[in-house]
Every structure is written in C-alpha cells, then in structure tokens.
Structure 1
Amino acid sequence: MNKKFLAAAIAAATFGTQAVAVELYNNDGTTFSIGGHVSVNLNGSEQGDTDVGTNSPRINFNATHDIGEGFTVDARGEWQVNYLDGGDNAFKTRLGYLGLSHDVYGRAVGGTQWAPYYDVAGVADMPIAYANDFIYDNHGALGTGRADKMLSYRNAIELGEAGVIKFGLGWQGAKEELAKYDDRMQLAVSYAIMGAKLGYTYNTGDFTEAGSKKETAESHLVSAAYGSYGKGLYLAGVYASNENMNTGLEESNAYEALIAYALPSSLNLSLNYEMVEGEETKGAKTTTTREQMAVQAEYNLTPKFVGYAGYQFDLNDENRKTDDSWTLGARYYL
C-alpha cells in the first residue's frame, strides 16, 4: 500500500465517498473535522400517502494523527440524526472506530465500520434515493454493510500499469441479540485497472435463533464496475449467492445493476435494478421477495447542495399488490 492508496483509504473511511467535511484543525500532524449531511424530501407511493421524510441524515466527527515511522491513527464517530420527530431518540450510532494505517503494512480498524464485504458489494449502492437494499438485511450482525464490533485489515498491491490488487479481512466476535451469533469472518479481494474493477467477497458465520438449531449464514458475492459515479459514465453489477443472509429465505440469489451518466452540467441520471429470489426452506418453491427498478436524477447546485428525484417501479407482483414509489428532495453536505 503506497502513500497514494494510504491517503485514499483514510479519506474514504473518514469522509465517505460523497461527503464534504469541514476541517476545523490541522497542525503538527493532527487534523480534526466535522462532516455529514442533512436532507428533506417528499415521499409518496401508490399504496401510501405523501409525507415529508429524510434520507439517511448523519453527523460525524473525524480525527487523524501522525504518530511517526509512517503510521497514522484515525478515529471516527458518526450518528444518524432524527430531526423531524421529537423525543429521546434524536441520535443513533452508525459508526465508531479507531484505525491505524501505514503505507507499507496496510490498515487495521476496530469498531463499528464499513466492512471489507461492502468494499466489493457496495459498487451499485450509489444513488441518493433508491439503491442496493439487500446488502442491509441485518447488515450490522452479518457484516455486509456497516459491521458491528468488527476488526478488519486492508492492504493493496500496486502493479504499476498492470493495475492494483486490493484485499481485506474482517472478523466479528460472538454476540447475542435476537439471535446468538458465533464468530463471523469475511474476506474481500478486488482488481482494478483503467477505470474497471472486479471483486469477490466471502462472508460466513454460525447463529442460533431462539428455539432453533444452529444455522450457518454464508455469502459468495461478485461485482464489477466501470468509471467513477458522478463523473461521466458509471456501470456496476452485483450478484450474490446466499444462505440465511436475506430476510425470510434460507437460500437466495440477489442481483443489483446500475447504469449512470453524469453530464458536464452536474446532472447525474441513473437507472438501477434489484431482485432477490430464493427458497424459504431447501427444496421449497422459489419465490421472489424483492424486484424493483428505479429511474433517478441528481443535480449538484453547488458542491455541497444537491437536489434529487426518483421513481421506483415495484415489479414484484408475486402474491401481493405492487407499490410504486417516488421521492423529491434536497441534501446539504456539512
């Protein structure tokens, strides 16, 4: 991992891929910044009423410190902000971790964090309004999105003009909530060259629900992407073969595809498709639990202020009424 990738890794972990943070302090190898975003949108659907909502608002505090010998420590705390409703639950933890990075030895992180699995799985999880949903089926416990109480390690091997190989490992210890989870482990590897990226990730761990026998949650996921979201053409696709990873399904296949094009005017147009199908028990009839397609537009009025609109078609009419939905809103990055 050279210094270019080290800087990119810390920046992505600290500020996120779309956020704009305000640096409040930078002196003698130490930085401190505040970031996040707030949003307000109108939401409606065929089966529901129109209302005012938000889209994943958050606030975060970030710090980095150069401790010498090529090592950099960074810390982050991030909370979901509930500012439309009163009450005691105004903040909810999203992220909280301590990281240690080196330009040769790689990066280790402990705490609640974006998992190595998501490094590969999240390539289609880009639009503001409608994006990849199946990743977030119990993602904290299963480590598919923001992983709770995880230790992770990442590094990269630069191959010059031949591209770069990135890899990551993750481990979560035993925990008990609605179900009792044993140790859970994951690995991720990707190869990038000339704007194209291919990735594979594996995730597994045992769990026991109340009154049930021990089961194994397991996922094999592959992804491919081209370009940079928000800069010209961006293409991404994801396929996952899962056991006990998606809600209500013992075995499942999940698909996500995204095509987006950002015009020089900062108007970003996108089309995404998602489907999850599988069996409630082995040998049962295959059912579709999720199938949807969305058309969306995002416009950067300024680098910090974005307007967005989307319409999602509910394509899953298997034993249910479909419910198309729409949203229109604005997001301000702190």
Structure 2
Amino acid sequence: MKLKTLAVAVALLASGSQVVASELYNQDGTSLNMGGRAEARLSMMDGKAEDASRIRLNFLGKQEINDSLYGVGFWEGEFRTNEKGAVDENAKGESNSELDTRYAYAGLGGKYGEITYGKNDGALGVITDFTDIMAYHGNTAAYKLAVADRTDNMVSYAGQFEQLALRASYRFADRTEEANGFGDNDEDGFSLSAIYAFADTGFEVGAGYADQNEGDEFMLAAAYTVGNFYVSGLYTGGDNLDQDANVAPASGDVDYKGYELAVAYTMGQTVFTSTYNKAEQDNDDSVDNLAVDVTYYFKPNFRGYASYNFDLMDSKGTEEKDELALGLRYDF
C-alpha cells in the first residue's frame, strides 16, 4: 500500500518501513536506522493456495558533513520463501528461499535535494503512488519502464520545495564485452516527474515522462482528499512498450495506453480501498480488473487485510483469474 498522497489517516497509513524504523546508532553526526516488515500473505485462485509471504529489511545511514550537506547510504532486501511442500531445499538440493536487493545506493543531500547512485527509484513511482493505494492488488495498468521504476546503474535526484516535489533519474547503459573491445546493451534512459500540492485544498497533481532504449511513456495523475475520503486517477500512454515482458519489444511498434481510478475511505482504524485498472496494447485490451480490499490497523505498525481482484478479461475469451488475498503485516 502506498498512501503518500492520502492525508486522512497519516498515523495509521504510514506504510513506508522508515516511518517506524529503529535507531541503532546516533552520535557525532552519524546515524544508522534499521527498518522493514514481516508480511504473511495467502493468495487463492480457483480454490488453489499460494504462499506469497515476504520479509523486507533495510538499513539507512547518514553522516552530517556540515550544516547544509550530508552523506547517505541505503540498502533494502526482500526475502521470500515458497517451499512448495519441501523443507528448506528442493529435490535438487537448491535453496527454496530467495533474496532480492530492492535498493542499494549512496549519495549526497542538502536543502536542494538528494542525489544518489546505485539501485534506486526512478521518477514515475511517485506518480503511480497516486492510485497504488491497496494492501495487495491494484496498479496493473500503469506500466513503468525500468528507468522510471527502480533499477541499478542509475543516478537519481529527489527534491522537495514547499508544495513542489521533483524527481529525475538517468540510467547508464551496461557495459558488454565484444570481440574488438567494449560495447553496451542500449538500456540507458531517463525519467522526470513533478508533483504539486495546492496548499491546504487537498488537491494534488503530478506528471512524468520516461525514455529508455526504444520505449517512451508519459503519466498524468490527480488526487483529492476531503475529510476521510480520497479519490485519484491516472492516465498513461507510451510507444514500444511490452507490459508482459517488462522490456521494450525487440521489433515492431506497440502503442500502449491505460488508466487507473482509486478511492479510499477511512473509518476509525479501518480503511476501505478500491481501484479499477484498464489498459490497451495496439487497441486490444491487455488489462481490465476491479479490486477491493479492507485493512484493519490493530496498531499503526500492525495490520490485517483482505483483498479481492475481479478479472474482467474473462468476457473477452481469456481464462478468468480472480484472486483472493489475505494478509497480516508487521512493520518495524
């Protein structure tokens, strides 16, 4: 759940691990925080169960250099176990556990923002956050190029100037060895975004653009918060995007467009959310689903949720893929 733009229940809906991170060390301008989450997730499709549980662990270090400059380093990993009936190892003696590095970067920051190098966020994640508000489902129509999402070998910038938030990233192409020297894989690119909040009106807008290899895309988003009610929408379009493969296709020209609508209502310690996602590739439907969920916060850092996704593509000749997800999440 990413509710950065939903201000109706800040204390309860702070989903980022760093919000409840534990301070391990703080002395002489040097600090080290640890955060993360443990999340048990059960997925059910057509009566069949799948374990989607995960644990995230991160460390954030900061060093004050002077009054206007600091150094920063951050790492986050995600652990997943899916034994599929085995114990620790599969039939080949290989571990069934997986560890993915989600973030690994270092950089400098100050009053004009933060610039880092490594594996970090691109610029369009903050735009999809407008509608990516659910505990489990949602955010299936706003496809992002890697340079716009989260990848390595990238320089990233983030700055906050009162009501204006700016993001930018540039990814270098990866070096390859060739017979006559070195080349690259052509996966260089950039992404840009801006979000503006209209003072205390509850209205917020965002826009972004990304280009990588043979693909490019844009996104427009808006959100409105009033009382305990939140509503948002997002529209995206691009060329030469292959949503399923998560890369630009090797040949051909694919036109991609999609939109997402999201709504949330907070009632005490309970949050109700719903999103609708629709996308097309070359005028053929590629995404069409409606998701609803309910999340109950026992405490700000411990929640339980139930989420259901209605796959609306079944009426178009594809196999129905409705999904029920149940979860418990502890943030630390």
The TM-score, its normalising length taken from structure 1, stands at 0.80
Alignment of 1:299-318 (within 5 A): 299-317=296-314, 318=316
Amino acid paired to 1:321: E
Counterpart Cα distance in 2 of 1:99 and 1:234:
35
Q: Establish whether residue 181 from structure 1 lines up as the match of residue 186 from structure 2.
A: yes
Counterpart Cα distance in 2 of 1:94 and 1:147:
8
Shift in Å, 1:259? 0.3
Change (3 A) 1:136 1:35: farther
Unaligned runs of 5+ in 2: 1-14, 89-94, 177-183
Alignment correspondent of 1:199: 206
Q: Establish whether residue 96 from structure 1 lines up as the match of residue 104 from structure 2.
A: yes
Q: Establish whether residue 290 from structure 1 lines up as the match of residue 298 from structure 2.
A: no
Shift in Å, 1:38? 1.3
Contact 2:156 2:170 in 1 (8 A): yes
Amino acid paired to 2:194: V
Contact 1:313 1:323 in 2 (8 A): yes
Unaligned runs of 5+ in 1: 1-14, 159-163, 207-215, 280-285
Q: Establish whether residue 113 from structure 1 lines up as the match of residue 139 from structure 2.
A: no
Alignment of 1:210-289 (within 5 A): 216-227=214-225, 232-247=228-243, 250-264=254-268, 266-279=269-282, 286-289=283-286
Contact 2:58 2:76 in 1 (8 A): yes
Shift in Å, 1:203? 0.4
Contact 1:254 1:275 in 2 (8 A): yes
Contact 1:168 1:189 in 2 (8 A): yes
Amino acid paired to 1:157: F
Alignment correspondent of 1:211: none
Shift in Å, 1:117? 1.7
Alignment correspondent of 2:24: 24
- Residue from 58, 61, 64 that aligns with 1:60: 58
| 3-state secondary structure, aligned to 2:188 | strand
Amino acid paired to 1:149: N
Shift in Å, 1:297? 0.6
Higher relative contact order by CA 8 Å / sep ≥ 6: 1 or 2?
2
Contact 2:81 2:96 in 1 (8 A): no
Shift in Å, 1:42? 2.2
Shift in Å, 1:176? 7.1
Shift in Å, 1:175? 2.5
Counterpart Cα distance in 2 of 1:244 and 1:182:
14
Q: Greater CA deviation, 82-91 or 255-264?
A: 82-91
Counterpart Cα distance in 1 of 2:318 and 2:96:
36
Amino acid paired to 2:238: N
Shift in Å, 1:18? 7.6
Shift in Å, 1:255? 1.1
Contact 1:135 1:145 in 2 (8 A): no
Shift in Å, 1:34? 1.2
Counterpart Cα distance in 1 of 2:17 and 2:266:
16
| 3-state secondary structure, aligned to 1:225 | strand
Alignment correspondent of 1:8: none
| 3-state secondary structure, aligned to 2:129 | helix
Counterpart Cα distance in 2 of 1:190 and 1:51:
37
Contact 1:116 1:187 in 2 (8 A): yes
Shift in Å, 1:96? 0.6
Contact 2:76 2:103 in 1 (8 A): yes
Shift in Å, 1:199? 0.8
Q: Percent identity?
A: 26
Change (3 A) 1:135 1:65: farther
Shift in Å, 1:59? 0.9
Amino acid paired to 1:201: G
Q: Deviations 1:242-282 (Å, cap 9, x if unpaired)?
A: 11234268111111111001112x10001111111121xxx
Shift in Å, 1:235? 1.8
Q: Establish whether residue 123 from structure 1 lines up as the match of residue 123 from structure 2.
A: no
Contact 2:17 2:331 in 1 (8 A): no
The TM-score, its normalising length taken from structure 2, stands at 0.80
Alignment correspondent of 1:209: none
Contact 1:19 1:37 in 2 (8 A): no
Shift in Å, 1:106? 2.0
Contact 2:17 2:36 in 1 (8 A): no
Shift in Å, 1:89? 4.6
Alignment correspondent of 1:169: 168
| 3-state secondary structure, aligned to 2:281 | strand
Counterpart Cα distance in 2 of 1:295 and 1:272:
7
Shift in Å, 1:88? 6.4
Contact 2:135 2:307 in 1 (8 A): no
